[in-house]
Amino acid sequence: MSEALTLTSLPLFPLGTVLYPGGLLPLRIFEVRYLDMIGKCHKTGAPFGVVSLTRGSEVRQPEHHAPDGDGFVQEAFHAVGTLATITEFSVPQPGLMVIRCTGAQRFRISNREKLRHGLWIADVTRLDDDLKVSVPEDLQGAANALGKLIKSLQERAVPAAQMPLLSPYRLDDCGWVANRWCELLPMPLELKQRLMELNNPLVRLELVNDILERTGIAL
């Protein structure tokens, strides 16, 4: 396999959310284990990996009888995540970083390791980007509804920095439309993860469209 498709010792950020390619992720960072990591990623322009938690919480919780003996509740997370690149970075006060990230390529973990101070690193294989698939007529309602939402936000003069979606708005692309709805809809975390892992963007949009029709958003 080409080295270009693999990353070694990628720092991970386990979160209670799912990051999609092309998505936005704002973070406020104050844990020691992440302050140094994010600082280095920002300085070098390197990505980090966002993975969805299946056990534990975003902020480490103490547990005196932890099985691995480090004094904290064990963390577990899905094997498929998304690379995040930092687009905005500030340090409003000592011990606090505020960043905005953009979701890039998905990856699958082949090996993971927790370092002594609680930071996870992993060897990962990058997954293929979604193929560009035009939105078929029977799913056009999902694209139209998203277009109306974007237009409504623009008419309300929402600043570009506060828009929940990044331009360009690819309303003719199944993967882009599906991903944006997956971010916006209040779905269970496990469902968001399963949809993100799907390799077929048309199937992902079909499943999202079913949800939109059941809720009356796309008719």
Annotate 93-118 with three-state secondary structure.
ECCEEEEEEEEEEEEEEEEEEECCCC
Helix 174-184 × helix 189-197 angle, to 10°:
170
In this prediction, residue 164 carries a pLDDT of: 86
Predicted confidence band at 91 (pLDDT cuts at 50, 70, 90)? very high
Q: How large a percentage of the chain has pLDDT more than 70?
A: 90
Predicted confidence band at 2 (pLDDT cuts at 50, 70, 90)? very low
Structural domains of the chain in order of their starting residue, each with its CATH number: 3-126 (2.30.130.40), 137-215 (1.10.4060.10)
Q: Which H/E stretch holds residue 124?
A: strand 120-126
Digit-coded pLDDT (tens) for 57-80 = 767 666 655 555 566 668 999 999
Q: How large a percentage of the chain has pLDDT more than 90?
A: 75
Report, as an integer, the average pLDDT of 29-51. Answer: 94
Secondary-structure percent of the chain, ordered helix, strand, coil, rounded to 5: 35, 30, 35
Compute φ and ψ for 82, nearest 5 degrees: -135, 135
The Cα angle at residue 109 between residues 44 and 178, in degrees rounded to 5? 85
Residue 3 pLDDT exceeds 50: no
Residue 52 pLDDT exceeds 50: yes
Residue 218 pLDDT exceeds 70: no
Give the number of other Cβ atoms within 10 Å of residue 203's Cβ. 14
Report, as an integer, the average pLDDT of 176-193. Answer: 96
Which residue has 């690149």 as its token pair?
85
Residue spans of beta strands (DSSP E) within 2-95: 6-15, 24-29, 48-55, 76-77, 80-93
Q: Is 47 exposed, middle or buried (0-12, 13-18, 19+ CB in 10 A)?
A: buried
